[in-house]
Amino acid sequence: MHMNLLDLRTATATFAAIPALFASLAPAFAQSQAAQPATPAAIAVPAVIAEIECMGSQCVPDPKISGTWKFSGVLGAADWNNGAEARVVVERFDADGVDIRRIDMPLSTSYGLTAVYTGTMHGNRIEGDVVWSWSGHWNDEHPIGHWTAVIQRSAPLPPPVEAIRIPNALIECEADQCAAGRQGGCLWTFNGRQAESRCRNGAHFKLDVQKFDSDGIVLRRTEFPDSVSPGLTALYTGTLRGDRITGIGTWSWPGHWNNHNPSGRWFATIAEGDHPDLPPVPGPLVSPEVHADGSVTFRAFAPASLEVFVQLEGEKQVIMQKDDLGVWSLTTKPLAPDYYGYIFQDTGVPVIDPSNPLILPNLLQTENMVHVPGPSSLPWEIGDGPHGTVHHHFFQSKAIGDERDFYVYTPPGYDSASNVKYPVLYLLHGFGQVTRSWLEVGFANRILDHLIDEGNARPMIVVMPDGYGGEDILGHGAYWNDTIRTRNFGRFANSLFDEVIPQVEKDYKVEPGRDARAIAGLSMGGAQSLLIGLNNLDKFGWVGSFSSGGLRENFDQEFPGLKSAANSQLHLLWVACGTDDGLLGINRAFNKWMTDEGINHTAVETPGNHTWMVWRRNLASLAPLLFR
């Protein structure tokens, strides 16, 4: 650089003027500095505060709600005397004010509640307002109350926390986001104490780490403008165990959710590799899942439920276990090959399995079925041999005054043009069941196919009618009202004799007479079979009952004409019941009465309860004995 004399003189004059310039600016600068507000003095978050809160502008001396909040840095755990439990997060704690956010925990008496506490310090006291948010409560409004807290100076300080290295990336899911059939979760990629998240549902946001240590994790979410949910914010709290974080969060989105701040579970797993991808889209929920050893896994998606049980047919209900996705599951012990009815109990309410299309029809309580397959030789499995045909009939009943139906099974080889005639078994369903129950749950057609193909049963026609004498029997407690039950049974018998049997004998190749006519049934149908068959020995020569339910113990009045002289008319009287069935007592009493009266009969007791597993086997045992 080269300067001439004139340049040097000019530069020297300029530098000489600089001190004067600074001197002239000093008062204005000082005035500007004095106008800036002083930064409030930060106050260390106390270890413990004792808090009370109530509706209204001030709390009464005997507060209804009091709690203890214990902090480790900005994150605390709070519990109240009304059973509420929550995470509390300090958003501000200084000389000018206190802001604390509350998120109630899943096992809290007020799960779903969130709140914002604002206040000011007065010595060791904090006092201010609280705004609660709880969707579905308080007419969906946001009540405002008062809260006060006292810092517990004598409380011991929490032990020092251990810093945890923030991972490079997390695979995260919140609420039901990653449950079967849902959209999937998010990938959080960290750069120091900030992260960027992209989600399967199109959400795009940043995260600020406020706490990440052995006592807990606090993350704050702010949406980017290109996100599908611009304006949404969230606060995540959690705990790291191994490579997994579980916790609870709260979301805020003005103009949505009725301006509530909903809360829910979230979890994350430390991602592996240098360039992790978004989590895969979850597949559909599979329930039930039958394993090779015969055990069965049941699953139910119920994230908000407190408890879910599975009730397997003939077994005691067992509680299921809930995972982070809100899916409850249970795996049974290995089960014998069969069809099993089951139902879920969701906090005391019976619920069918929506993932399973296999339904056990019932007018009182619809259930599901699960098939544990076995060899085709089992009578209820579909065999390789010839199959019979099922026919469905409808008619207007004058005896009962309604429209009703019945099903007819004709054996393999049945030909309406042939002169071959067949005996008939009238097979009755139980209380709550429907006309098709013996086909869709009892698999009577499959059982007869097997027995006939193997030569173990005589080819026969099976008629399965609607077993009710009117809808009044289905009313609450009506079945155990002797008057209603007796009237209902009587109307059904009239329809059977005057409408069903004549129609069957008109439309099908049927052997005439009582020697070629049998009646049997389960539960209610078992009682009807005994009452109808044994009181009408001129029409039935073969009578069977499975787990009979509905007989009165005054057997002399129920069966006034049944004496030992009937032995010459009865080809078979077969009475069966499971040894774990609640109706075993009345069935044993009936068998003893018949023994005392000298009436020939076969009493059968098999393992099992009041279930279809017992009744399918009963039919498979009875059918080979008929019409021999």
The residues spanned by each domain of the chain are 48-151, 169-270, 289-372, 389-625
- Residue 512: predicted pLDDT: 92
Q: How far apart are CA 543 and CA 103, in angstroms?
A: 66
Q: Does the pLDDT at position 176 exceed 80?
A: no
Per residue in 90-128, pLDDT (tens digit) is 999 999 999 999 999 988 999 999 999 999 999 999 999
- For 36-40, 352-356, 484-488, 577-581, which range has the lowest pLDDT when averaged over its residues? 36-40
Residue 38: pLDDT band (50, 70, 90) is low
State the DSSP H helix or E strand holding residue 449, giving kind and residue range, or none if neither: helix 444-453
Q: How far apart are the first and last CA of the chain?
A: 129
CA separation (Å) from 466 to 257, 433, 496? 50, 9, 9
- Residue 231: predicted pLDDT: 96
Mean pLDDT within 381-390: 96
User: Which residues touch 444 (CB under 8 Å, ≥6 apart)?
Assistant: 409, 427, 438, 462, 464, 619
Q: Does the pLDDT at position 175 exceed 80?
A: no
Residue 36: pLDDT band (50, 70, 90) is low
CA separation (Å) from 72 to 210, 219, 244, 406, 426? 12, 15, 21, 72, 75
The rounded percent of the chain whose pLDDT value lies above 90 is 80
Q: Does the pLDDT at position 60 exceed 70?
A: no
Per residue in 443-462, pLDDT (tens digit) is 999 999 999 999 999 999 99
- Residue 37: predicted pLDDT: 60
Which amino acid appears at position 267 of this protein? F
CATH class of 48-151: mainly beta
Same fold, 48-151 and 289-372: no
Residue 441: pLDDT band (50, 70, 90) is very high
The CATH H-level (homologous superfamily) assignment of domain 289-372 is Immunoglobulins (2.60.40.10)
Q: How far apart are CA 484 and CA 550, in angstroms?
A: 11
User: Which residues touch 502 (CB under 8 Å, ≥6 apart)?
Assistant: none
Q: Which residue has the higher pLDDT, 23 or 329?
A: 329
The CATH H-level (homologous superfamily) assignment of domain 389-625 is Alpha/Beta hydrolase fold, catalytic domain (3.40.50.1820)
Mean pLDDT within 497-505: 98
pTM for the model stands at: 0.73
Per residue in 286-328, pLDDT (tens digit) is 999 999 999 999 999 887 788 999 999 988 999 999 987 788 9
CATH 2.40.128 holds for 169-270 = yes
Residue 56: pLDDT band (50, 70, 90) is confident
DSSP SS3 for 112: coil
Q: Does the pLDDT at position 21 exceed 60?
A: no
Mean pLDDT within 258-276: 89
